[in-house]
Amino acid sequence: MKTDISARLINLNRQFYQTFAVNFSKTRQRLQPGVWQILEDVVPSANILDLGCGNGELARALAERSHRGIYIGLDFSVQLLAEASLSVPETLDATFLQADLSIPDWDKKIPKTTFDIILAFAVLHHLPGPQLHRSVLAKIRDLLEPEGLFIHSEWQFINSPRLRARVQPWETIGLTPSDTDRGDYLLDWRHGGYGLRYVHHFDEGELASLAKDTGFTILCRL
């Protein structure tokens, strides 16, 4: 993907989350069952980095479970971070930082430490291009303890007929399919207004190659 196209898609998502932060947060008031399943196995003393922490719903769940380790939540949306900072109990040792994973030095905003667990739920699919995917994962690997875990999820929207109906033609934003990569899509948003987001649909082979290229070993798939 050309650099200028990548920049346009990144900017499209920035504008979306700036415009629809409040309405988006209203649709994210509970954790998915798979996330609860993961939290069941999280050691209470684990130091956690949460990439794309949004409105802090996961941090609130950790606080409810009396989590004792350090928690740092990153998001590029100032509005969502403000909501998270106000709604997470002080019983959790939580820090919320504004950072954009599409910017090369995003990791420099994180205090000098390593983490037992790094989470990225519904995050990587908003980053365009394999080069950016590899760059972000390489930094994540450096931020992990040697035996640390990177736990992530990607939106499998193509498997849902309802969500497939929300795919829009690239011409809507002045692009063509040849401008983008295989697996790239433009999806609309219909809560509190009309918006558009860039989303990449990962398949298992693509994720396996990405893990291999960045030094990860896949332990399990849920």
Classify domain 3-156 at the CATH superfamily level.
Vaccinia Virus protein VP39 (3.40.50.150)
pTM exceeds 0.85:
yes
- What digits encode the pLDDT tens for the residues 154-165? 988 888 898 899
Tell me how far apart the alpha carbons of residues 101 and 158 are, in angstroms, rounded to a whole number.
24
Q: Which two tokens stand for residue 95?
A: 């820090």
Kindly report the three-state secondary structure assignment for every residue of 16-67: HHHHCHHHHHHCCCCCCHHHHHHHCCCCCCCCEEEECCCCCHHHHHHHHCCC
pLDDT over threshold 70, residue 92: yes
pLDDT over threshold 90, residue 88: no
Residue 200 burial (10 A CB sphere; 0-12, 13-18, 19+): buried
- What digits encode the pLDDT tens for the residues 192-202? 789 999 999 99
Candidates 68, 69, 197; CA nearest to 123 is: 197
pLDDT over threshold 70, residue 27: no
**Residue with the larger pLDDT of the pair 50 and 220:** 50
Sequence ranges of the domains in the chain: 3-156
pLDDT tier, 11 (very low <50, low <70, confident <90, very high otherwise): very high
Mean pLDDT throughout 24-43?
79
